[in-house]
A and B are shown apart, each in its own frame.
Chain A
């Protein structure tokens, strides 16, 4: 009974000789485990509000937030601001994605393209998109143009980085295959380059969608007259923490939803890969 060396003498006598090995793994997954943390947080928040430990001026009670959200939807302020915000994010995301993808293909397929494009983008990458806001305000004013540009600037970098990386990591054996089949440039792009870079591109998109909402928050709190960020900034002036919380929850939900949407696309578009993973 060699196992008894590892066990305490008290249990060693009761335990059968082939005692199971010590488990080092974290164990079986907990059902709905991902929900436990947030629910716990919510419970503490509710408890704090109910006992009066949390001053409503510091943080409104969860139920107040829910009724406020209902009111905001009913009077049309929330849907209107959400529509404006969503439009800005979508426009910036769209423009940024196209720019990032095109630049990645240019830099990935030609040495000259890489020499010209890659350096400036690496520099841009080191400068936070939001640090450019003062300059953009001077150039473009405080209108929609500035907001969409800021978002697009934040979006195109991750799209470029990951698509470019995806392109560069395409197995050179496939390039050789294309050469041996005498593929034309367009067929090479369509059959080998773009599908090969798709996993990288989609990873970039996951960063990009979250980045788009992030940039949105900032631009909407600067001299804005519409949008969720404006709604929250206004609430700050009137001390309405419930409205601020509604905005925060909304940002969180939008980020989660858009990330989930990209992951869904990822699963469908990369089904050739899933057959390996499953």
Chain B
């Protein structure tokens, strides 16, 4: 089990020790340790049902009904992006973005956030008038408008088509480079993880089984031999033979 040892100071916004979570008799997370540094982009891989979302929900504080124990230390100012855009259908786009904001400059900041995700001028639109990709961009704007120290994303591109997903990858990377939140991106897509993250974790049997630093120059692509090497080792760890298919 790989654990990031290191100075547990303010530069480590996420610190999880000995986390256990279960549903009824089934143990999902079992003595999990995790540290994420400030501004660090971490992707979390794992097979379906391995507990990726359970971990993310534990960090987001959205698992009140789950039994468990352990230490979870996350910044108060953290945002969540869900797999569905989860926009309130009865609020216009701008009102959705500023939903959690307070203060007189909320609308101003909301418009700036919308411009950042390429949706300037759409603030009066209803969510139902936007495409799936646009809705997820609004959700990104809503998550980043509060300048969070930690961004938790639960398969945010899972419901998008392949082309839109590629564009969203670029956008997310750009936004994270500008705002520098610590990121935990839950995904089942190995390529997505390698393309975006500084570090890829693999969750297995309730613990972090692989902790892989990705040190590749941008733009990352299949053409880089190191990319393929990472891909191969991660797929193997997931129980897939990369030479097949």
Q: Which residues of A contact B (CB under 8 A)?
A: 173-174, 176-177, 179-183, 187, 191-192, 195-196, 198, 270-273, 275-276
Contacts and interface: CB of A to CB of B under 8 A. Distances in A.
B197 interface: no
* Dominant SS among interface residues on chain A: helix
A182 B74 CA distance: 14
A195 B91 contact: yes
Nearest to A191: B99
Contact of B62 (A179, A198, A272, A275): A179
B100 interface: yes
B90 A198 contact: yes
Contacts of B88: 174, 177, 191-192, 195
Given A173-B86, A275-B126, A180 B60 contact: yes
Nearest to B76: A182
B128 interface: yes
A177 B90 contact: no
Interface in B74-108: 79-80, 82, 84, 86, 88-91, 95, 99-100
20 contacts: A173-B82, A176-B62, A177-B82, A180-B62, A180-B79, A180-B80, A181-B79, A181-B142, A182-B100, A183-B99, A191-B91, A191-B95, A192-B88, A195-B90, A195-B91, A198-B90, A270-B90, A271-B126, A272-B90, A272-B91
Given A191-B99, A192-B88, A272-B90, 7 more contacts: A177-B88, A180-B62, A181-B142, A187-B99, A272-B89, A272-B127, A276-B128
B109 to A, nearest CB: 14
B129 interface: yes
A181 B89 contact: no
B126 A272 contact: yes
Interface of B: 60-62, 79-80, 82, 84, 86, 88-91, 95, 99-100, 126-129, 142
Contacts of A196: 90
A272 B100 contact: no
A271 B125 CA distance: 11
B129 A275 contact: yes
Contacts of A173: 82, 84, 86
Contacts of B86: 173-174, 177
A192 B90 CA distance: 9
Contacts of A275: 126, 128-129
B89 A273 contact: yes
A97 B91 CA distance: 25
Contacts of B100: 181-183
Contacts of B99: 177, 181, 183, 187, 191
A182 B79 CA distance: 10
Contacts of B126: 271-272, 275
Contacts of B62: 176, 179-180
A191 B119 CA distance: 22
